[in-house]
Chains A and B, each alone.
Chain A
Amino acid sequence: MYEHLETAENRDSLKRVVVDPVSRVEGHGKVTLLLDGDNKVQQARLHIVEFRGFERFIQGRPYWELPVLVQRLCGICPVSHHLAAAKAIDQLVGIDPENLPVSADKLRRLLHFGQVLQSHALHFFHLSSPDLLFGFESDISKRSVIAVLAEYPDIGVQGVKLRKYGQEVIRMVSGKRVHGTGAIAGGMNKSLTKAERDYLLEDIDQMIAWAEGSVALIKKVHCSNLPFYDEFATLRTNYLGLTKPDGALELYHGGIRAKNEHGETIIDHIDYCKYNDYIHEEVRSWSYMKFPYLLSLGQEKGWYRVGPLARVNNCDYIDTPLAEAARVEFKAHSGEAMVHSTLAFHWTRLIEALHCAESIKQLLGDPDIMGSDLVAQGEKRYEGVGVIEAPRGTLFHHYQVDENDIVTKANLIVSTTSNNMAMNESVRQVAAEYLSGRELTEPLLNNLEVAIRAYDPCLSCATHAVGKMPLQLELVDAEGKLIDKLIKHSDGQIERDNA
């Protein structure tokens, strides 16, 4: 590990390199490197520079507004927030997941599969395929989806159409591509009509074929340079996510499972409503994002990764045939119980996309999605927790309400926050191994971005440690000398330090 590069000694004497903003990630990510006179990296950090304060945004609102309101936290995965909130407010009306009407449960799953499919398609085809197809240090003009469309037109078009299909699933289930109101407390507000079901069935076989082709493509890319792909930004970590009771891959509802780097179980089948008993969040002075960790392992060893790699590593099998075959092949390639390659996030992401496409087809063939029993109601409660596996990883929504149904407390742990420590470690590893001692060029710096992008971070909804961190702006001259510093303290006070 590269923890020694989190904070350098004699920072003022070091040269500062800022990669700002990190492109092809949502939100505003910034990487700072401190270099000594020989260009050796002494410190590397990933900073999240946008602040959104979304828990405050939620507090004071009536709970029934939440499924719509929380979609506006993030333009990238609104459906994930929508469903996590819906699962939480189900409990506020006294409905546990097992008591949700069957049709509502299946419609929510269909909605979620559509969301994950379109998000994974966007990430691979639009944001990552330029690096993977043209090389991490290729000319910057090539690193875009347009270059992919020009040189690999079939792949480019498939990416656009897979994304579009996922959006159409969302539109059919929730009524709109965005701002939909599909899920409500205790169920869903509409089912699919036969015409809507038939419309989605028209293209699903093509989507499965394309998703299967994308798995073959990423396998070919990964295995074309196996030592590099298995080592680049790679970390031996713990992994956390939901699984079904029988250990199968689960994206919508299950128990929390965490495994260590050797594949040994740390926790399993944990009721996510008790997540606070197992997961804590650490605040560090230099980052807006918190650093979650497994309480039983402590801050130093308890951090973990979430997302496609974690889910495919953690599960015992996948319950759709093509994705399961792909999973078996994926696991076999490394020969270890757990695959630790950071770039394997891409491979697992596409295995999941294939699973989503297969699952959509299964659900479209299930008459329950056209059922009319859509909402259940129980006895009011004052606290609810909703957890789902969003495209980027486990997403926690936790609310408390008062007797007037107003949200008095909200806590959200988004997947990018769970991957915060891992992203920083990956950045430090790449900085140490690929950049240290070399003259920095844009293609070299892209290696850092490649490492971050593998996690598909959604930084805009990951920053919510309100008031926990001072803002600091530093001006450093060419000799590395600090010339000016502006500090905004947590209480809003501004201080200037002219060094």
Chain B
Amino acid sequence: MKKIRCALIGSGNIGTDLIYKIKRSPVLEPVWMVGIDPASEGLARAREMGLKTTAEGVDGLLPHVLEDGIQIAFDATSAYVHAENSRKLNELGVMMIDLTPAAIGPLCVPPVNLREHADRVEMNVNMISCAGQATIPIVNAVSRVQGVGYAEIVASLSSKSVGPGTRANLDEFTYTTSSAIERVGGARKGKALAIINPAEPPLIMRNTIYCLTDEAPDEARITDSILRMIGEVQQYVPGYKLVNGPIYDGNKVSVFMEVAGLGDYLPRYAGNLDIMTAAATRTAEMFAEEILAGKIKLKATEVA
């Protein structure tokens, strides 16, 4: 079966984990990995896994996009360079999946709004943040049943799984995730809290989701909606698990989740990283399925 050919930008942990996930996909094929350091371990590993590599950034990839038929690119670099990467690749008709906090395209949480983005043939979608991917499905599962005036999420991440970029820019993480709880989760006001725990052995990613419903919560319908949503996320993150709840206390709904990763390249406790790569892969697959079925066609953006 024909597969859609992909490029990975950023040869760090996320990019490397993506190779494993994309290789497993029936509709995606990883072809290029782009780095900036010729000596990087990630590029060496990508070559070992059969990918073509360049250490010259996105500019090193551009001349090969058309001849190698690249249609989807994943950007796991940084918010600072994403916009330029995206512009250059979009001009060649490559659809961009943004794993940085840049968020220049619409925010995507697969079980909530991926279908809409595919139907609109968005050329750039943003994967928000790990905490966003892990918690927004639950907020949405409540808000699709009844109005949620306020939703708050608490993400506990193991110290080893949080890279220097996130550490130095924690406010960005807070703002991006809080805003996505509103825009994608459907709460009128959102708040995100992050805790980095250094315990050894590292703790599995935990997420607690609190929602305040406008009216007394319809417990049976909300519980059912949450369980269905968990099932949908489990299709691409099998380790997405309900630990306790939902519990109801007045208008407050509390849900206690954990996310174990698949352990591809990243260790299992780093469910926070895994859910990002898994959601990004799922997003690419949906676009790929539509392209292969002839339902959508990616178009190069006009050169400004």
Q: Are chains A and B native binding partners rather than an unrelated pairing? A: no
Please give the residue numbers on chain A whose beta carbons come within 8 Å of chain B beta carbons, in ascending order: none
